[in-house]
A and B are shown apart, each in its own frame.
Chain A
Amino acid sequence: MGKFKKISNWIIASSLLFAGLPCFADVVVVANKAITADSLNAKQISDLWLAKSEFISGSGKVVVVDQVSGTPVYNYFYKNIVKKNGSQLKAYWAKIIFSGKRLPPSVLANDAAVIEWVASTPAGLGYVTGASVNETVKVLFRSP
């Protein structure tokens, strides 16, 4: 009992600690298998998640989803791939919303939700940690 308690405490404390850390690696962009493209580059990904583009050449219109702001995978994705920090993103979307043309991507709760949604949405794209990828989706980009 005492051992379990200690382990539980350790797990919770570690989870809370790691949740706040910006250090993260191996983010992958996953797509529904109906999307014909085999890869995307960082510029294409940035354009899709900033709503500058809704299309992948040869695959047509796609829909992207986001992860929860502030999570390690979100922080890594926007800092290293989209190249925008939190305040830049807020200002960017405020201007887009003001134009009335777009809203930010819908947010899903975690990797599992993203994988499930992408697998069941024919034009769906999302990003997750590498370890969460399974055979129901295809990988179009893997962070260096």
Chain B
Amino acid sequence: MFNRKNTKFLLTGIMLLSSIISVHAVEFGVFGDVNYNDTSQAGGSNAFALGSLDFYAMQEIDDKTRAFFEMVFEEHDNQNFVDLERLWIRRNLNDNLNISAGRFHTPLGYWNRNYHHGALLYDTATRPGFLDFEDGAGSILPLHFVGILFDGKVRAANGSLGYELQFGNGPSYNTSAGYGGGEIEVNNISDPNRSKSPGARITYNFNDIPLTLGLAAMSNNISESGLSGNASGIISGQTLVQQFISAADLEFKGDKVDVLAEYYSLKNDDKFGSAGSHTGKAYYIQLGYQITASLKPVYRYESVNFDDNDIYFLILNRRQENRHVLALRYDLSESNVLKFQAMNVSPKTGGAYNEYIIQWAFLIP
């Protein structure tokens, strides 16, 4: 079967192959989810619904530099959208410092910095309503930015201290079509004004207990992005709201019990009208209990409260509400998960309703 020549060739080939040092290939992955929704809301209906399809990849370009992108295909109001959610290049400067440039999730809170757009990663079928992304109906926070990010981790007494510092284009809003007609704009390639948004988050991980604490802050001059003046005489680039966001978050991940909580305070100053300064707040607390390795019930309480005259929430046309979310997560494997969720939504103005979701979320690694 083998002659001597072939045998030598084969052995040489095996030896050659075995001496090759592998390098990192591009690491691709896909997150996706499919849902069935029902609601008790007047005029609502039940439906099967495609969630988002999330492609991401990361590659080590050299021994100190890596690049990453995340693109999400999703549908709103029966229209397809492709969003470049994250795109960055990062250089490791030393053991405690990286510098990155591109588009990121803002360093605000645990959920935004850890779950990104991957439905499989979180235990409930939906994100907390006020942490919806900028194109979500309930979003109140600028959750993406384009600019530069410094981050790193240093060892501390009984744990490690992580930090993230952002500096980038500030969010804006187009009021040309009135209030509530659009979304917070991230400004990927331009910025209506010269004011940039600084932000920071520090986290502390304990060595002995599975606990992470975080504190974050961000300052924004939210400007008009409409090209021409609107009915109120606001011109492009004019500051609508001067905003300061402060936040705290906690993650405890025990063997059986886990707790997630985030609190946000949004101080909003009206810069073109006379609504004045107001502070809104939003928070959630989520408790999970791992019954078996694959079965986990979760409860979450969410609340959004602000002054009726707060110009920021008037512009966004958001509402005050409380939510109770009860979910059961069943891990079929590491790469696909079934979630059953019941949610009670109570707007401050009345008209509480329930929503029910069955979600099958997956990861193609």
Cβ-defined partner of B334 (8 Å) among A61, A88, A109: A88
Q: How far is the CA of A91 from the CA of B334 in the complex (A)?
A: 6
**Known: A9-B1, A12-B7, A113-B21. Contact between A103 and B58, CB under 8 A?**
yes
Q: Mark B15-33, 1 if CB is under 8 A from A, else 0.
A: 0011111111001010100
Q: How far is the CA of A3 from the CA of B111 in the complex (A)?
A: 67
Cβ-defined partner of A97 (8 Å) among B3, B22, B29, B88: B29
Residue among A12, A93, A98, A107 having the largest count of chain B Cβ atoms under 10 Å: A98
- Chain B proximity of A118: nearest CB distance (Å): 13
**Known: A5-B7, A88-B334, A95-B121. Contact between A100 and B22, CB under 8 A?**
no
Evaluate contact between B4 and A4: CB separation under 8 angstroms.
yes
Interface status of B84 (Cβ within 8 A of chain A) = no
Q: Mark A99-143, 1 if CB is under 8 A from B, else 0.
A: 110011011111001000000000000000000000000000000
Interface status of A94 (Cβ within 8 A of chain B) = yes
Chain B: which residue is nearest A84 at the CB level? Answer: B334
Evaluate contact between B60 and A103: CB separation under 8 angstroms.
yes
Residue among A8, A92, A94, A109 having the largest count of chain B Cβ atoms under 10 Å: A94
Q: How far is the CA of A46 from the CA of B27 in the complex (A)?
A: 21
Q: Mark A40-74, 1 if CB is under 8 A from B, else 0.
A: 00000000000000010000010000001000000
Interface status of A1 (Cβ within 8 A of chain B) = yes
Evaluate contact between A97 and B2: CB separation under 8 angstroms.
no
* A15 proximity list for chain B (CB < 8 A): 14
Interface status of B64 (Cβ within 8 A of chain A) = no
Interface residues of A in 1-60 (CB under 8 A from B): 1, 4-5, 8-9, 12, 15, 55
Number of interface residues of B (CB under 8 A): 39
- Chain A proximity of B48: nearest CB distance (Å): 26
* B19 proximity list for chain A (CB < 8 A): 109-110, 113
Number of interface residues of A (CB under 8 A): 30
Evaluate contact between B21 and A108: CB separation under 8 angstroms.
yes
* A103 proximity list for chain B (CB < 8 A): 24, 27, 58, 60, 66
Interface status of B365 (Cβ within 8 A of chain A) = yes
- Chain A proximity of B320: nearest CB distance (Å): 32
- Chain A proximity of B40: nearest CB distance (Å): 35
Interface residues of B in 14-63 (CB under 8 A from A): 14, 17-24, 27, 29, 31, 56, 58, 60
Evaluate contact between B118 and A95: CB separation under 8 angstroms.
yes
Evaluate contact between B24 and A106: CB separation under 8 angstroms.
yes
Evaluate contact between A87 and B2: CB separation under 8 angstroms.
no
Evaluate contact between A55 and B155: CB separation under 8 angstroms.
yes
Evaluate contact between A98 and B7: CB separation under 8 angstroms.
no
Interface status of A90 (Cβ within 8 A of chain B) = yes
**Known: A55-B155, A99-B116. Contact between A9 and B88, CB under 8 A?**
no
* A88 proximity list for chain B (CB < 8 A): 334
In addition to A90-B334, A91-B363, 10 A-B residue pairs with Cβ atoms within 8 Å of each other are A8-B4, A12-B2, A90-B365, A93-B27, A94-B29, A98-B118, A100-B86, A100-B88, A104-B27, A109-B21
